[in-house]
Amino acid sequence: MMLVLTFILGLIAAFIGLIPPSMLNMTAIKISTTKGKSKAVNYAIGVSATVLIQATLALLITKLLEENDHLLVYVNEVASFIFIMLSVYFFRKGFSERKANYTNKQKIKSNFITGLLLSFLNMFAIPYYCGVGSALVMSGYLLFDKLSILFFVTGAALGTFLILYMYIYTAQKVLNKLQGFTKNINFILSAITGLLGIITLIKLF
């Protein structure tokens, strides 16, 4: 019963972390509306696979982070740099895509790999799951044994996939209404990643 609760808590943690608009779910919408639902699902699987690793690492280093606060500062510094660079990238891509004509002859890219990489670049995932893990351990709802960690991270990965699939399904369902939105989605991603970078920088001071 405790393991089932641990699994559910991991799923809930993923839902809370991904429900607000973010780089990951906005990209899922973009892929769904521009390349199709199946490719977006492959992207979601890639994101979920990375979350599985990130959540595992987060739980394994939670105690270390609590005993050495300066490590969290370095993590935030790296995250800030990455999000600012992503903001510039999406901003430039938004302008370039306005000049480009998208057809079926576009260069084929692996959406699964895209999901892996973008999720890996989401450096907030590890600090987030470290915080969640610490809170659950202190409350007695999570243990650091292998089975508990396995159930929690599996729940987190599944929760990530489900919330992304909800975004994908919604985008596909209202495709016609999202045409204007998708034209500006790179600028939205630029704003989100830029804001995340600024917030991280503020936390460092």
Q: Could you write out the DSSP letters of every residue in 14-52?
A: HHHHHSS--HHHHHHHHHHHHH-HHHHHHHHHHHHHHHH
* Residue in this structure with the two tokens 């987060």, named with its chain if needed: 58
Tell me: pLDDT of 44 over 60. yes
Per-residue model confidence (pLDDT) at position 103: 40
The Cβ of residue 20 has, within 10 Å, a number of other Cβ atoms equal to 8
Q: What is the DSSP letter of 175?
A: T
Say what the pLDDT of residue 78 is: 61
Which candidate, 75, 32, 34, places its Cα nearest to that of 169? 32
pTM of the model: 0.69
Q: Residue 95 — pLDDT band, cuts 50, 70, 90?
A: low
The answer to whether 147 and 4 have CB atoms below 8 angstroms apart is: no
Helices (H), the chain: 2-18, 23-35, 37-67, 69-99, 111-121, 125-139, 146-173, 179-183, 185-204
Stretch among 5-14, 48-57, 122-131 having the lowest mean pLDDT: 122-131
Residue 158 has pLDDT above 90, yes or no: yes
Question: Would the CA dihedral through 112, 118, 123, 124 be positive or negative?
Answer: negative
> What CA dihedral angle connects 160, 163, 165 and 170, to 10 degrees?
-160
* Nearest in space to 190 (alpha carbons), one of 52, 7, 40, 23: 23
CA 167/CA 44 separation, integer angstroms? 10
Q: Are 34 and 182 in contact (CB under 8 A)?
A: yes
pLDDT tens for 102-127 read 444 444 468 888 888 888 877 678 87
- Using CA atoms, how far residue 23 sits from 28, 57, 131, 194, in Å, is 9, 21, 21, 10
